[in-house]
Chains A and B, each alone.
Chain A
Amino acid sequence: MNLDFTPEENAFREEVRAFIAENYPADLRKAQESGQPLTKEQYLSWHKILAKKGWVAPSWPKELGGTGWTPTQKYIFSEELAKADTLGILPFGISMLAPVLYTFGTDEQKKKFLPGIYNGEVWWCQGYSEPGSGSDLASLKTRAERITGDDGKEYYLVNGQKTWTTLGQFADWGFFLVRTDQNAKPQSGISFLLIDMKTPGITVRPIITLEGGHEVNDVFLDNVKVPVENRVFHENQGWTCAKALLAHERSGIAGVARSKRNLQKLRQIAGTERSDAGGSLMGDAFFRRKVAELEIDLTALEFTELRTLAGESSGKGPGPESSILKIKGTEIQQRIQELALEAVGHYGAPFLRDIGHNAGIGPDDARGLAGEYFNGRKTSIYGGSNEIQRNIISKAVLGL
């Protein structure tokens, strides 16, 4: 057992830190701090800088643009990004679709789609959930029937509705699960399709979430023609892709490094807020204890993640243990948001989003914390709800 970083690893950390300091766009930082929704360009600007440097997809195979870093280097990299409070890289292309493509896709598909994902030129969205199919994803009903087009080519004709499509309003392409066999058992009649969001018949409609934001959408598919070559893997075997993708989705959700950073921010906020007695809130025994407990939980999660990483580097894939990371990671994120809101007391109440950036109501630190808390409830719901994760652990790990 050894937890020390080698001199090479420390040098690597310095290199990453310097790169971020020199290259992170100042206007993006400003936009993040404003609390206003980001534009499509802002979302992609840091992605593009990292792509140019060759660092946007550390987990990909080296020959496709991966970095070839050791798990420790990847860990250091994500930790430095979090410390610097950079914008996250949107997961849909880089960490969800790409692994499916390079594992199951044809050479043509890889050639056609991976570069756009890497460079941030193509924005992807995830079309899995449907109004009637959430936790029970395999019950999805969107149908795809094979037809021959007027041009003599083979197409799928897709009809149905997807929902909760995150940032679908910006998407150029989406990866969709559709039912290609009505009669097979639920899991075996599903195919995995890549669909150009500009195809006629697609309508994207906003869903406003409880904190007032527009992040998710309904997507309606009405006689949408999708060329058969846009199917990944075999017809009716899309579930294999779907599951692989979900495992990747989950492992990113723990967010240990981000939580460390946010805990730091929480300490700063509580350091400037006053307690009932007039000192700093961080000096209040009740509050301090809650922060300490949270920090200990986070440390436990960090070491659980490190153990998982170490396991992966010795060849084990992300197993059902990633459900532990999802459950604890999201619970911790939510508790940090809870405490941050609590820290600012009365000033958690103003709905600043509506009155704009320079409203000057309450301390700057308080801005948007309520929104983050409300919006943060999603993390224990999406990516397979935490109840579903517990079901997975009980079946797959505990054998119940």
Chain B
Amino acid sequence: MNRTVAKEDLDSRIFNTINIILLCICTVIIVVPLWNVVISSLSSGKALAEGGFIFWSTDFSLENYRAVFNDETIGLAFLVSIAKTFIGVITHVFFCAMIGYGLSKKYIRGRKLYVAMGVITMFFSGGMIPTYLLIKSLGLLNSFWVYIIPALFSYYDVVILMNFFRNVPDSLEESAKIDGAGDWRIFLKIFIPLSMPAMATIALFNGVGQWNDFMTTKLYITDQALYPLQMKLYEIIVQSQTQSMQNIGGSAIIETTTKGVQLATIVITTLPIVVMYPILQRYFISGMMMGAVKE
């Protein structure tokens, strides 16, 4: 008996050691490149041109960040990003919650049709060009509202909220009805406060989506004043790519300056997400589960 225990112990110990070593390697593979970007963004143009560092720069400098903050268009892009994320999230969550609340009532007339329509939207879409033509004919090209209105609705989020609303005890609604409250009042005063965890999950996912979204701008916006950070960053990347193609072997100075600006913009673009990450993390695991368990 003693021998089997010892054998099992040894097996487990070897397994655990190998497992921890492999996971450490995985973690290093993720952390080192990210760390390298941060360190590079804090390096002078000279250090970037010479290269030769991975973990620690040879010459620290804030010149890249100074260059970014001196560019007014990036400040404006930051404001556009914040505005579209903030307005987008609030309107999206409210819109989906309102529909989800309506559909969570089994007695609502036409429910089967509405649900069928919703499910169709999950599997079929017109694709890029028909959607573009629609946005164009609605006059949303080069308008800030193209970030908000087409992103209002997602049937996936409606389903999550609908399931959440169903779990609220019926008696709460009944007692409010006896007190003379209408559906809107019950929704706003009882269900919304009770559903904050579900709505926060959706808000955070949607917020990350809005912040990271770049195709909407690429497809529908040509007015530079409406560019969010992601589009600004994309332009800097494309610009530096063409420059480095033209300058193969040529002047390295221009290349490293745009590289520095590019790196600093990357860090600034990502910073809000990294700052929000601890809050995000608390919610997204439960959110994934809510999304996975469907009716």
A, B co-complexed: no
